Structure 1
Amino acid sequence: MHIERVELITVRMPLIHPFTTSFSTQTERRPLLIRVTASGQSGTVTGWGECVALAEPFYSPEYLEGAREILRRFLVPALFDWQAAGRPVAAATVGSAIEHVVGHRMAKGALEMAILDAELRLQNRSFAAHLGVTRASVPSGVSVGIEKSVPDLLAQVGDFVAQGYVRIKLKIKPGWDLEPVKAVRERFGDIGLQVDANTAYRLSDAHLLRRLDPFDLLLIEQPLGEEDLRQHAHLARLVSTPICLDESIVSAQSAADAIALGAASVINIKPGRVGGYLEAARIHDLALAHGVAVWCGGMLETGIGRAANAALAGLPGFTLPGDISGSDRFYANDITEPIVMKDGEVAIPSTPGFGVEPLPAALADMTVHTLDLTS
């Protein structure tokens, strides 16, 4: 495969409803898309990647402007240098071409994603087929932010339950935990329910988190700091609700450490956070081998990322519903044909690559910045 062109395209997508976590309130997303034009024996294709870095470095050290700069100055030039040296360019070689750049997994993962999409399109093969996925759809869960009041929360959850979502995830923080969980469980009965703290607690808050045990939650996600593996292992012995790690898992190596320490019985795999879909698949394989459940988390992706996440979640180790909601959960208009949740499931695309691409009119309307990095 020969890379002909690489472009960075930033789009602006207002959220239907503000999404609040323990660290920020978002009213819009500005996804950074990567468009790769590549050629091979079967012709010329376009591959798409999506960087999940947020506008500010509150969820992770990476952020939108930084990701764009890393791609512009270091990652894309390194890929062109690799190609100019006569080395093969493929999704499997992207990691080697850019490994000298320390960190920046979200930016790296987006570049690998675009190359993978182009490679699979040249092969006329879907991402699901590449992974060996045989199922046609995956169960759809939805994430609900921290609302202004419990009645507002119940109204939000009620709407999602009526739509058919099979699992609800509530964002929590100290002072917004027991009351909303209790209210949702009492109102909606035995629906699949889990909570996400986004590192908002400390080990000294174990007594607070233990009060969630009676509500039969699927898991408590990332209650402590991302580097606190030992503390998570200790917390897991103090509460009966399963502990799930999110921000702590940035690679297969960190997943192996967490499993060995007993810090997590569940892992949330976000492909962008761990450096791409190939590393995400490796984490899945590792967890499956150790009997640790995994599920696919979301980062308010466009249809590009949602389609890819749906295929990944079709692997056998993904035994819990992921944050693979329909496009209309967040956006009035997606950049692609909308991803649709029907009867609690999202279909896995079966067409080449990730199976979706931006609609030209939507792309033109939403684009706020473009940069051509062609060497």
Structure 2
Amino acid sequence: MEPKETLAMVQGQAEIWQHMFSFVDSMALKCAVELRIADIIHCYGSAITLRQIASGINSPSPNISHLARIMRSLVRKNIFTEHHHPVDGGGETLYGLTQTSKWLLHDAELSLVPMMILQNHSWLLTPWHCLGQSIKEGGTAFNKVHGDEVWDFASKNPDFNNIFNDAMACTAKNVMRVILAGYEDGFGCMGSLADVGGGTGGMIAEIVKAHPHIKGINFDLPHVIATAPLHEGVTHVGGDMFDAIPNADAIFMKWVLHDWSDEHCINILKNCRKAIQQKSGKVIIVDIVVEKDGNDLFDEIRMAFDLLMMVHTIGGKERTELEWKKLLEEVGFARYKIIKIPTIPSIIVAYPYNCCCEDVVGATHGLLDA
């Protein structure tokens, strides 16, 4: 075997090993979240020792050597920092936060902890073991494990419903500021806005807070609305988006359509068109636009989300711009535009009619007109 070919084989072997054990990173992160390691360091306000971290863990006798190995792994992944502090001629290792581990703080305004808890829970992890079976036999991997589709499972399981709603609320917070900045002018010309699949109402509440002239409607399944807190300027409405959607000047949907097949999405979008009250109305879709050869910060995550949809939903998928275009044309939307924002999804604005109150020529952030 030629040296170049030998090197390629070794590199290939290393890559397979890395993929094989990529779950270890997720489990180490889950461990850090469960032990609240980032919160413990944050409470001190500076880098701290391993024993100080251990003293903050809710346990009478934490295993220090195991904790050290978890921290070594997370430091290598740049989740935490590590440096040595000289003490009386000796040295002590201090661990600190990074911009990455700040996303692991439980009570921070911007946090990924609820999503980490959801995605790494056995309820969602176990179905991945049935991915091959679902390809052979059809059906969803989630159903094969739990005997229900995800929405039915949530309606019957309050604990899962709460974890799921917390995760959705956290993603709403994380992307809300980016959406408000990327589409600031777009919210100015509407009197009412219905958030379809709005969960417990966190997203529409932030929009109304930034634009108090908007009458907000949070629309979701009754079992979701039942747990929704009161938000000023927001009315909670329970129902089924496949039957009807509350009337409004505009419809907002964040990470809703990717859960469903094209046929289901056509049904939802038709109901959106019926719900829009005026010709200047629009549907604002916050969802992923897949670029097969994209290489920005979130493209790998977007591809992962596509497989996530395949495992957990009936026909759910992430779509390319061409697939979005075909979907919107099928429902009769006159035109659309895509606004790229610095997060996982993009903003897709669809217009049922050719007239609207927005100056699309002045739009920025990667506008693509159909």
TM-score, length-scaled by structure 2:
0.33
Task: Please identify which structure carries the higher strand content.
Answer: 1
**Bigger Rg, which one:** 2
Point out which structure has higher relative CO (alpha carbons under 8 A, 6+ apart): 1
More helix as a share of residues: 2
